[in-house]
Amino acid sequence: MRFQTLTTATSLVLLSATSLLAQKAAVPDLAPYLIADRAEEIALARSAAPRNVSDSATILVLEKTGYVQAARGTNGFTCLVQRSFDSSTSDPNFWNAKLRAPVCFNSPAARTVLAPMLKRNGWVLSGAALADVEARTQRAYASHTFPAPAPGAMAYMLSPRQYLVDADPHWMPHLMFYYDKALSGSSFGAAGMTAPIINASAGDPHAPVQTIFVPVRQWSDGSAAVAMGSH
């Protein structure tokens, strides 16, 4: 997700993140992260992709116990509104309750990218120390308990209502493609956040999945995206 890669942490933020990782985390209060109106959250989740995709997708919503299914789909896609704690534990915005990232995963990504994310999310919400969450994640990928992304794994993040990071909430509509970390960003010609193809894993050398962003020209509602760098 882009809110993991957009932030440029100051030394103070890095120190705070390191301190946070070292602590036993309390079970988080999810109240600031919840959307009271379930219909509103479903609509926000569907806004991640064009209607021909999201209207027939499975929808997950966040409740106090974690994500639950709110609508059963028929096309293999799964859409949800990711929160800040779905990102890397080293992300300075890990507990930023304002973040909302509508995303729709295709079937290969739902099986092999979303499923590990939801498992890891459960560890976080149970109050596991963030250092333990990170260690368990690395072990799960190393042991193949968490699979490598399946061929063709991708996701839409095209919602004009997304809020990805305080400095640039809406950024750009983009597609995300997921690969085994053995494939480096350079093998795609991917580079920084203003490049045509973006290496979204570059800011996290321990990321177990190689994520590639491809910005596109329209939001899911068909409106034109602002040219990158013009805002």
Domain ranges of the chain: 2-215
**What does the DSSP assignment read for 22-71?**
HSPPPPP--GGG--S-HHHHHHHHHTTS-HHHHTTSEEEEEETTEEEEEE
25-29, 86-90, 113-117: least confidently modelled range: 25-29
Position 4 pLDDT exceeds 80: no
Position 230 pLDDT exceeds 60: no
Position 3 pLDDT exceeds 70: no
**What does the DSSP assignment read for 120-182?**
HHHHHHTT--HHHHHHHHHHHHHTTSSPPPPTT-EEEE--TT-B--TTSSS---EEEEEEETT
How many percent of the chain have pLDDT more than 90?
Answer: 77
Specify the pLDDT at position 9.
33
141-195 pLDDT, tens digit per residue, is 999 999 999 999 999 999 999 999 999 999 999 999 999 999 999 999 999 998 9
Helix, strand counts (H, E) of the chain: 7, 8
Counting other chains too, the contacts that 144-150 makes at CB distance below 8 Å and 24 or more residues apart are 146/116, 146/119, 146/208, 147/111, 147/112, 147/116, 148/112, 148/179, 148/180, 148/209, 149/108, 149/109, 149/112, 149/113, 149/178, 149/179, 149/180, 149/209, 150/108, 150/109, 150/111, 150/112
User: DSSP assignment, residue 195?
Assistant: S
Specify the pLDDT at position 2.
55
pTM of the model: 0.86
Counting other chains too, the contacts that 197-205 makes at CB distance below 8 Å and 24 or more residues apart are 198/174, 200/2, 200/4, 200/5, 200/176, 201/5, 202/5, 203/4, 203/5, 204/4, 204/5, 204/88, 204/90
